[in-house]
Amino acid sequence: MRNLQLIHHQEISLVEALIANNDEVVSCTSTDSDVLFGLSKNGILFQVDIKEGAIVKTVNLGDIDGITPQAEMIDIQYVAELESLIIISQFDIITFNISNDTSEITASIEEGINAMSWSPDQEIVIFSTGNGNLLTMSKHFETLTEAPSDLIPTKSNTSTNTAVKQQAKLTEEVSSRFINRPLPVEISWRNDGQYFVLNSMDPSDGKRWLRVWERNGNLVSKSEPIDGLLGNVVHYRPDGSIIGTHQYHPGKKETTIAFFERNGLQHYDFVLEKGMSDIYSLQWNSTSDVLCVTFKSASRENTVLVQLWYRGNYHWYLKQEYSFNESEQAPTHITWDSESAYRLHIFCKNANYYCYDLCWDHNMSHGMTSENPCFMAVINGLKLNLTPLRYAVIPPPMCAESITFDLPINCVSFSDSSRCLAQLSDGSFHLYQFSTSNKPPKFGLPPSKLGSIKPLSNNPVRLLTMINENTFCFVPLTIPGKSDALVICTINEDFTCETREVSYPESILRIAYHSYTGNLFIEGESGALFKQKINEDIPEELEERFEYPCQIIAPTMMGEEEVVVGLNHRGILFIGSHNVVSNCSSFSLTDQFLLFTTMSHKLRIINLHLSVYDAVDIAASGPTSKYDETFREIERGARLVCAVPSDLNVILQMPRGNLEGITPKALVLSRVRSLLNNFEYGKAVVATRKYRIDMNIIYDHNPESFINNAKKFVEDVDNADYINLFISTLTNEDITKTKFAGYHSDGKTVKGEHQTTITEVNKINRICDKLREVLNEVDKKKFISSILTTYAKYQAPMLEEALQLIRELKAANERKHSEADEALSYLVFLIDVNILYDIALGMYDFDLVLMVAQKSQKDPKEYLPFLANLKKMEQYYRQYSIDMHLSRFEKALENISKAGAEHFPEAVALIREKGLFKLGMQLYESDKDKLLVIFEAYGDYLVSVGNHKQAAFSFLKCKKFEKAQQSFLEAGEYEFVFSLTKTLNQQAQDIKKIAKSAMIIMEAKKNYIASSNICRDYLNDNEEAVLRLVAGKEWKEAIRVAISTGRSDLIETHIKQGVFDSAKEITNDLAENETKLSKYISRLKELREEKERILREQLLLQQHNDGEFGEDMPHNFDALSEASSMQSGISGYSGVSVLSTRSSVSSVVSKRTISRKKKNREKLKKGSPFEEGTLVSRIESLIPSSVSISSVSSLLEVLIYFDKFEEAKALQVGLETLIKTCRDNAELIEEPFQPPQIENEPVPPTRYPRKVAEIIGGDLDKLSWKLNLLE
């Protein structure tokens, strides 16, 4: 869908260099993009500076000593390695050093030289000599091979085995042009330098043949016989796919451009023109997409044409044509530039040199409104193909309509959707008017011709741009030494033009019209940008400029700023002076978005509501989430044709040429938001449904607005199915903050902003309640299915209410149940019929149950007897049975409580089985006898779950004192136990048994003081009471009891020795713990430092791989390569996965194996992945707890009481040292870390060790456990 645009056209006179009257340029070569060396037939070598538009130097090669006199020059080639020009005459090979302007004859060929061609790598040069041989030489002109040029291939191939086709009778004119003409000979290389093709005459039959040779001089193939005659030109397409030449068909009397494969078989062809044309040259550009054909026209007298052809979707398009007078300015040499793919050099007979710079661009009608049909114009020789892309995506070469002209079209421009201006190759302009009707099937086509405008210049004009219906502008031929001018033309009613020129300080490269503001934007060759107002003669230079000149530009509004977007040939996309991306392949603009494709085959979408800086920042970033639809994968090599303004369609062209229309979600979401802002809910629902957009956007875009306009929503949509679809897709997630977090109305999105789930708890219920209310108000009968959907979607589903609605429908239409039946069928579609059956059964309506059952797959033999049996029961017992069947135990209990006293045992059994004690107490609150039974059952239940204290009180409530006493005993409430002995009239012997049991229970609960009290009060054993306190290390209480009971001897015999042994043991344990703690802390610190070092080195290695260092690479970079290899050794503390590489033998792992693995992880093994976690656990276990500190504090007091000052001091110092070690290393101990991942287990969360102060039980500085006299 693209056309070739002429963006620069320069003329340079070579009269000073070509002083001979009949001299002409025969060849040229370039050293860079702006320097060209030319060679004339008579030996004049000249250098042209294209940028300056002047001849830099001139050398007459005829003055070289030893050169063959009167020998015409043939070719010239720049060899970079030699830094010299290699010049070929008819007999001599001349080397010209461009650095010192010296020349010498390198070699001579006596037989003469017909043609020469260098391999692309400039390692080999091929000569066709005068004796018909093919000579292969090295770059130093050493002969490698020599063979006759008319060899027959030794291998059998199609061309040598095919019978000669019947030839049409040749006229004398045809014979003189194609038969027995040995000259010229042409050679062309494939771009990889492995093959070359030779077009030469075969002396045996006087005809021309193509022969393909290998690089080493071996003949590969000869072209097959064809129906027609081959011409003398040949060119190997740079990509190596085909070989081009021309062919004349005497029978059809037409000239074609024919293509051959490397094996000599003809591939395809296209007709150049009717009649017999003289083809002068045939060349592809370096990118292999444009074919330049130079020929003398058979249909236009005294005219030489230069045509540029392009092939797309198996069709050949003529994109540009330049005509020259044969007698005055016929081209003598034409070639593509080797550096710039779309620069064409033409040397003419009148000593003029023309430089044409071209680029690809689309020609589409202006306008960002929905009234623009988006007419896309494709130049196809004499035809201008038109397609309105807004209404029809027609792949080229087909089109909706075409306009045929007398001459080929060179350029075309649109004013808006109403007029089109085309310029033909003769320079004339033709104006067309489109119909105002855009309805199918013609969509305003074909346009009607308004008139023609005579050529305004003798040379091709460039950058034709229509401004409005009667105004257009262009740039004429660039003349060296003069500034470019912008010519603005106003079309009069008689189709004459009034022109005025606006001078510019530099050469104009591109022109773009901004239909929104009516301004022209001009780009200079340096990248400078100018704003040109139509009625002013002085351009305004903008502060913004492109860093590099851009071949494609387009103005737009970004935010509230008018900017120019540009794309250069290297793929750099600019917004003003800002570099957006460096791998762009195409871009397009709509009224709201900038879209561009990248060379990594992605479509990017940038919101134009952003500021320039925000847009550049977003374009440079990656996707914000997995839902980010501003990124979209596209087919490899696809390019943007256009994004239809004020619409959702984006047209892409594939590499082969076919079109594809897509609808990016970013554009759809923008459209939906716009519709929602305008309360056009019907169109919004249709758009979300058509393009599969989550319908939650309708509510989430503006929740309060939706709730307030719910009635308008229902009335505007007015379709029950659409409303049902909307309700069915509702979720409690706010998709504007999750899935579509990057699609804010202002286009802003911040990387990392996306959140996984953001829920609105009551969103679904809120919408369902509101819509149900509105639906009932608007038309309950029409929207019955939607009302049922609100019940079914509710959380939790209101299925009873839905069935109640169906029951009301059935009751309202007793004779006609179709509405109720249809409603039930729809509800069955939404909800599992078995669930509905149970709900209907739970409503105790057997008619409704039968209706639902008939919609299910249930066997009537099963449910009919079941229902019949239920009908025989008393009402409440029937309802109880139904509730038990449906596992609705609370309702079942309520119903059986009303069924009569005879069913109370079943009620108690239900209460016990399902734990419905509180409900049972409420239901039987008025019947005290039954309530006591329930309390006893409740107590038994509490005993079964181990809640003895609560069970005891429940037993007290129902006067079950024995059970209450036993429960108090199990709970350790010994006070209540012995209080109940009087109530139960228990004897002394029974009380002693209870006391012994109570002592055992209290000691199990570590309550040694209570055990001592029981022993003393109920067993009268004072010595055993003291022993119980010594066992529990209750030293102070033991001393008190021993003295109060008159057993002071127990202090010496039991208490003192226990105190001394305990102090000694704890002192040793504290010293050992402090040693272990210091060791573990030292190892943990070493691990953490190693971890930090490894991570730092990995970061440096990553930065090096990303190229962020440049010349600042660390000197110790060699050590970084070890970082990755060491990673496995520190995986436990570097946070990486530790996954077994062994395959799983079985998916079932025994509990014993799992337990063994866990124990292995807990082992402290140096270098283990679990070492860090084990160290932290060990350290936590060594930190003294508040209980142990309190115990030590009590022991210190007793030691002083027994005058053991030194032992007390040693104990206090030991604990103080341990606490100080913990406090000094608290930050290290409390540092969070990431445990390693284990095979077949999820990734563990970050572990946060316990705080040291939390373990000790308070602020370390405020603990008052020490004795001051010991410090």
Find the mean pLDDT for residues 1189-1217.
85
Condensed to tens digits (0 to 9), the pLDDT of residues 375-400 reads: 999 999 999 999 999 888 998 999 98
Find the mean pLDDT for residues 615-619.
84
The helices-and-strands tally (H runs, E runs) of the chain is 39, 55
CA atoms of 594 and 587, how far apart (whole Å):
7
Residue 1134 confidence (pLDDT) above 50: no
pLDDT at site 19: 57
In the block, residue with structure tokens 């002209």: 405
Asked if residue 218 lies in contact with residue 254, where contact means CB atoms within 8 angstroms, the answer is no
Mean pLDDT over each residue of the chain, to the nearest integer? 83
Residue 436 confidence (pLDDT) above 60: yes
Which pairing describes strands 133-138 and 124-129: parallel, antiparallel, or unpaired? antiparallel
pLDDT at site 818: 78
pLDDT at site 621: 79
Spans of all domains in the chain: 547-640, 1064-1105+1121-1137+1158-1262
- Find, among 65, 69, 61, 68, the residue nearest to 26 by Cα: 61
Condensed to tens digits (0 to 9), the pLDDT of residues 835-891 reads: 888 888 888 888 888 888 888 887 777 778 878 888 888 888 888 888 888 888 888
Least confident of 241-255, 272-286, 1114-1128, 1175-1189: 1114-1128
Residue 994 confidence (pLDDT) above 70: yes
**What's the pLDDT band for 1121 if we cut at 50, 70, 90?**
very low
CA 726 to chain centre: 28
pLDDT at site 29: 80
**What's the pLDDT band for 1143 if we cut at 50, 70, 90?**
very low
Q: Cα dihedral sign for 1154, 1159, 1164, 1166?
A: negative
CA atoms of 886 and 280, how far apart (whole Å):
96
Tell whether pTM > 0.85.
no
Find the mean pLDDT for residues 189-200.
91
pLDDT at site 1142: 34
In the block, residue with structure tokens 């308008």: 712
- Find, among 556, 552, 562, 612, the residue nearest to 587 by Cα: 552
DSSP letters spanning 1087-1140: HHHHHHHHHHHHHHHHHHHTT--TT---TTGGGGHHHHHHGGGGHHHHT-B---
Asked if residue 897 lies in contact with residue 911, where contact means CB atoms within 8 angstroms, the answer is no
pLDDT at site 377: 93
Give the single-character DSSP code of 123: S
Asked if residue 119 lies in contact with residue 192, where contact means CB atoms within 8 angstroms, the answer is no
Condensed to tens digits (0 to 9), the pLDDT of residues 473-501 reads: 999 887 776 778 899 999 988 888 888 88
Find the mean pLDDT for residues 65-72.
77
Q: Which secondary-structure segment (H or E) carries 1180?
A: helix 1171-1182
Residue 197 confidence (pLDDT) above 90: yes
In the block, residue with structure tokens 């081209």: 331
Describe the strand order of the beta sheet including 519-524 as a list of residue ranges: 508-514, 519-524, 528-532, 540-545
Residue 204: C-alpha distances to residues 201, 245, 1096 (Å): 9, 21, 78
